[in-house]
Amino acid sequence: MTALRTAIRRISLSWTAWHTTAIIVFGAFALGLLPFVKMGLVVNGAILGAIIAVGAIGLTLIYGILNFANIAHGDYMTMGAYLTLFIVGGALSALGMEAQGFGPFTFGYPTLIALPIAVALVAAGAIALDVAIYRRLRDRGVSAVVLAMASLGVAIALRGLVQIVWSGDAQHLPRQSKPVFHLPMDVRVPPDAIFVALVALALVSAVYLTLTRAKMGKAMRATADNPQLALVSGIDTQRVIWWTWGMGAALAATAGILLAVFQAQMLPSMGWRFLIPLFAAAILGGIGSPYGALVGAFVIGVASEVSTQWINPSYKPAVAFGILIVMLLARPRGIFGSSG
């Protein structure tokens, strides 16, 4: 039991963990070198993986500390994307800030201003929902599935809200076409993909530093390990939980914006549809482990993208699901979870 917790909540990076990453990353690109696999798909998959990682790390943090599967996580992503759209199209354009094609990117500088505001709003909203809903349920001592059930309700309501305000049709941020970068091996990278990768990299590093260096980050790991011991050590676990919601939702919102930028459109169902890759990545890596989620996301991203060489691209979520099922059969605790 203790061993299980140890394993599942393991965050610190061990020697083998770095090696596994190296093997997986090099393995993926070696895959791209094979004559029958397009390197372009591998690169695309890595970028998709970066978006999945940003979402899945938040999901797994929430799982580790609050102990339930946040079904609304995808809809936090959707909210992030639509709030950005709202700020860009509403407030900022009213202030006369209208532009597209910032630097090499398709979107304009207003999007860069709107992004942190939207992310902060979603984070604040997630904390407010904890106060209004989840904290009450926790105090009542309900089981994890009831919390997940409540988050399903939240997911439905958020989706409804998005559709009321923005309708069910596809929307997109103001954009201007930009030339794609041509790399060797017939790899074409749209400039926005570079933005996506840079933001994801920065966020993953920030999460890593927070969890290993910041006092609150360490307290989050401690609470994930053993909430009661955290309490008697004087840690205010309610605050830890709010930080977790804040971080998790901020990551989700950013993932949503990145996805909207990467796909050049947004739909109210985008987050809900993204739940499968998110959970597949988190479970693949060992749920509760942010590091595992990162690796899991990379595997899911590359695998589902490369699969499109042979099968219909719209099956990508099904491919992620298939990998998840195989993983659950072979090693239910995930790559970085050990036995319990």
Using CB under 8 A as the binding rule, whether residue 51 contacts other proteins is answered as: no
Choose among 14, 56, 27, 61: nearest CA to 288: 61
Question: Quick check: 64 and 224 in contact, CB under 8 A?
Answer: yes
Q: Minimum CB separation from other proteins for residue 333, in Å?
A: 9
Region 83-122 residues binding other proteins, contact defined as CB under 8 A: none
Judged by CB under 8 A, the stretch of 17-25, 98-106, 131-139, 199-207 that binds other proteins is 131-139
Which residues are paired to 266 by β-bridges? Answer: 171
Q: Minimum CB separation from other proteins for residue 107, in Å?
A: 27
Instruction: Indicate which single residue of 221, 245, 250, 298 sits in contact with other proteins (rule: CB under 8 A).
Output: 221
Q: Please enumerate in sequence order all residues whose Cβ is within 8 A of that of 318, keeping only pairs 6 or more positions apart, or say none.
A: none
Region 181-220 residues binding other proteins, contact defined as CB under 8 A: 215, 218-219
Region 141-170 residues binding other proteins, contact defined as CB under 8 A: 141, 143-150, 152-161, 163-164, 167-168
User: 3-state DSSP: the chain helix, strand, coil percent, rounded to 5?
Assistant: 75, 0, 25
Region 246-305 residues binding other proteins, contact defined as CB under 8 A: 272-273, 275-276, 279-280, 283, 287
Q: Rounded to an integer, what distance in angstroms lies between the CA atom of residue 50 and that of residue 144?
A: 29
Q: Minimum CB separation from other proteins for residue 241, in Å?
A: 7
Q: Minimum CB separation from other proteins for residue 66, in Å?
A: 6
Choose among 205, 206, 240, 195: nearest CA to 221: 240
Question: Quick check: 202 and 210 in contact, CB under 8 A?
Answer: no
Instruction: Indicate which single residue of 78, 84, 223, 304 sits in contact with other proteins (rule: CB under 8 A).
Output: 223
